[in-house]
Structure 1
Amino acid sequence: MDQRPRLDDVAARVGVSTASVSLVLRGAPGPSAETRRRVLEAAAELGYRADRTASMLARRRRHLLGVMLDIRNPFHAELVEEIQAEADLVGYEIVLSTLTRHRDEKRAVETLLDFRCEAVLLLGPDFADQRLGALAAQVPVVAIGRRVADAPVDVVRSADHLGVSAALTHLIGLGHRRIAFLDGGRGAVATARRRGYRDAMRRAGLRDEIRIIPGDHTEEGGVRAGRLLAADGDPPTAVVASNDRCAVGLMDALIRAGREVPREMSIVGYDDSSLARLAHIDLTTVNQDAPAQAKFAVSAAVQRLDEGRRERVEMVLHPQLVVRGSTAPPPP
């Protein structure tokens, strides 16, 4: 049974009408200063909180943006924090729906639709373009972090090929030639970064040095790759990882195996997440400008909802390499 205090409980405590209590809590004119003081005190004492869902239903417009994220991804957590800040500025609230080991994209999106979100922001979605197009026929969709070639959805992403190229340019400048790529799996984001690695190695004249190590976008995937490389009699001198999570797992496995990073092997991640900035990790990585991605994504959704924009827009940001302590010249 719901025992939460209600509006009429506050009204009974103060001895005024529920209409007066509503005016006070909404900051609307009418009640006297003394009434306002007593209502606010009573609401605090009772622990009353307004039912925002009922309030939004009464206004017809819900002003809810749904956000799908991978709860295990620290970069997604940072993006959500920035999205919330941007939504606050324009008078919207966000509803989060998470991906986990047991909860896929289909279920996560269905939850957002069940909450009647007016638009959905998808962080790194792996849905096929056709599936994204079908979703866009129901609500405005913003895909964050990946290219979408053939669907009427708005897109904000970093230029992954430039980010991977910057990582390789840095390593080549340090003297590395045997540079491997720790793969991120079958998803759209991982595919773009893998393609960027191959293209950049070819442009650098290192076609024969191309080596892709199987992995995924998890710490566990990085650990498996690290164990493989630790047992390799002729390992690469540097590895570019598809994201920070697998880079950190790779680093952990190498260190546990007695390999020194970066003296024996340099490692570069991708995302510049909170993990990368920890002093004992100090990961060289690619920054995707989370604040700018969030600002554009929220703006794109609000333009469709409030201004009626119909044409598709895409924002491609230039990522920046952040050099830290996980890279150094190759061993002799």
Structure 2
Amino acid sequence: MAERVDGSDTAGAGRAAAGPPRPAGGTRPRLEEVAARAGLSTASVSLVLRGAPGPSERTRKRVLQAAADLGYRPDRNASLLARRRSRLLGVLVDMRSAFHAELVEDLYVSAEAIGYDLVLSTVTRTRDEAKAVETLLDFRCEALILLGAEAPAARLAALGQRLPVVVVGRRVGGADLDVVRTADEDGVAQTVGHLAGLGHRSIAFVDGGKGVIAADRRRGYRGAMRRHHLDEHIRIVPGDHTEESGERAARRLLADGGPPTAVVASNDRCAVGVLATLSRAGVDVPGAVSVVGYDDSALSRLACFDLTTVSQNAADQARHAVTAAVERLDEGRTEPREIVLAPRLVVRGTTAATG
């Protein structure tokens, strides 16, 4: 087939120039019209438009030019339905999370590199996980990648019986699905070790609320404080994953009369809330109070925050998540797998030695 395509380059050049005009009246151009304009067979044109090997570079240029002249766009849904494959990976995401947004960008890179595409469904204040997942199933996604899912393990396990599921960011015990996460306990322990090394003893922790991820980070804080012989300074302030919770926690710490010299927040958004309240109160960061976040999101890297935080390596998480899903789909892997990545402390401008 490759020889037939190459051999038609010269013979078809005149036919390409004299091909049919671009359809009028808004009618969607068909593959046959592209083939007629390019002077090639529909099979050859299909190879080019699918990016398949075989056609010469000259042939590819002719086909793409003909498609552009006609305004042709492949009917991707019809093609996929014909093959009874959607090649769609559904992604559950909280778009209010800067870290999730970064993960989505990396997921696109990894998925598109191997011929898959993504469908996103978001969790909002008025739209829960169950609704978001049902939307992904309605789109005929072949596998699901759930970012920071908070559903009980039993519900996730039941979902994993319907199609391949990859949970990103948290532990899920006893379920036939894949997990990609960082060692959150170790990540928080690194923040405590960093602060203790700077001479801090009064190190408070703003909690992340309910859920497995929050529990792991809370446990990491307690364990690290004990290892550094700071048991009497353990101080956990209620919070969640929002800026508002960080603001409330910081106001509470300031109102207690003896604010800590360092604060570890459960994530970057919460840490930004802490920074905002301390700034309004005239508290110098890091001169009087050091602040650490978690996630190394785009927010933490802004010059106005320059936040010391913990990197979860979004690119690696995304790559492993897509690979796990595709192994299930294309290679038939059935055994569950958990991939635990090592977190990394990123020191920036919000931490310093205590005076």
Shared fold per TM-score greater than 0.5 = yes
Amino acid in the other structure paired with 2:229? G
Aligned pairs (5 A) from 1:99-248: 99-248=123-272
Q: Could you tell me which of 89, 100, 109 is aligned with 2:113?
A: 89
In structure 2, the residue corresponding to 1:94 is in which secondary structure? strand
How much has 1:39 moved relative to structure 2? 5.7
Amino acid in the other structure paired with 1:67? V
Question: 1: distance between equivalents of 2:57 and 2:248?
Answer: 65
Deviations 1:59-113 (A, max 9, x none): 1122111111110111111111111111122221111111111211111111111
Q: Could you tell me which of 75, 85, 104 is aligned with 1:51?
A: 75
Matched, 1:5 2:28: yes
Q: Could you tell me which of 305, 328, 333 is aligned with 1:281?
A: 305
Question: 1: distance between equivalents of 2:88 and 2:331?
Answer: 16
Partner of 2:341: 317
Q: 1:3 to 1:185 in 2, by over 3 A?
A: farther
How much has 1:262 moved relative to structure 2? 0.8
Amino acid in the other structure paired with 1:164? V
Q: 1:238 to 1:51 in 2, by over 3 A?
A: same
How much has 1:138 moved relative to structure 2? 0.3
Q: 1:48 to 1:199 in 2, by over 3 A?
A: same
Q: Max radius of gyration: which structure? A: 2
Question: 2: distance between equivalents of 1:160 and 1:259?
Answer: 29
Question: 2: distance between equivalents of 1:234 and 1:31?
Answer: 73
How much has 1:125 moved relative to structure 2? 0.7
**Is contact 2:34-2:70 (8 Å) kept?**
no
Aligned pairs (5 A) from 1:263-282: 263-282=287-306
How much has 1:9 moved relative to structure 2? 9.7
Matched, 1:327 2:319: no
**Is contact 1:156-1:315 (8 Å) kept?**
yes
127-136 or 213-222: which moved more? Answer: 213-222
Amino acid in the other structure paired with 1:275? L
**Is contact 1:8-1:18 (8 Å) kept?**
no
Question: 1: distance between equivalents of 2:260 and 2:253?
Answer: 8
**Is contact 1:11-1:18 (8 Å) kept?**
no
Q: 1:302 to 1:37 in 2, by over 3 A?
A: closer
Amino acid in the other structure paired with 1:77? A
Amino acid in the other structure paired with 1:215? G
How much has 1:38 moved relative to structure 2? 6.7
Question: 2: distance between equivalents of 1:94 and 1:28?
Answer: 21
How much has 1:17 moved relative to structure 2? 9.8
In structure 1, the residue corresponding to 2:288 is in which secondary structure? coil
Question: 2: distance between equivalents of 1:32 and 1:167?
Answer: 56
Q: 1:35 to 1:165 in 2, by over 3 A?
A: closer
Give the length in aligned residue pairs. 330
Question: 1: distance between equivalents of 2:186 and 2:47?
Answer: 54
Deviations 1:140-181 (A, max 9, x none): 111111111121111111111110110000001111111111
Question: 2: distance between equivalents of 1:270 and 1:28?
Answer: 43
Question: 1: distance between equivalents of 2:316 and 2:221?
Answer: 25
How much has 1:26 moved relative to structure 2? 3.7
**Is contact 1:4-1:48 (8 Å) kept?**
no
**Is contact 1:122-1:143 (8 Å) kept?**
yes
Any gaps of 5 or more consecutive residues in structure 2?
1-24
Deviations 1:217-271 (A, max 9, x none): 0112212222333433111111111101110111112112211111111001001
Question: 1: distance between equivalents of 2:58 and 2:286?
Answer: 67
In structure 1, the residue corresponding to 2:179 is in which secondary structure? strand
How much has 1:8 moved relative to structure 2? 6.7
Q: 1:277 to 1:137 in 2, by over 3 A?
A: same
Q: Could you tell me which of 302, 307, 314 is aligned with 2:331?
A: 307
Aligned pairs (5 A) from 1:18-29: 19=42, 22=46, 25-26=49-50
**Is contact 1:5-1:46 (8 Å) kept?**
no
How much has 1:135 moved relative to structure 2? 0.2
Q: 1:44 to 1:227 in 2, by over 3 A?
A: farther
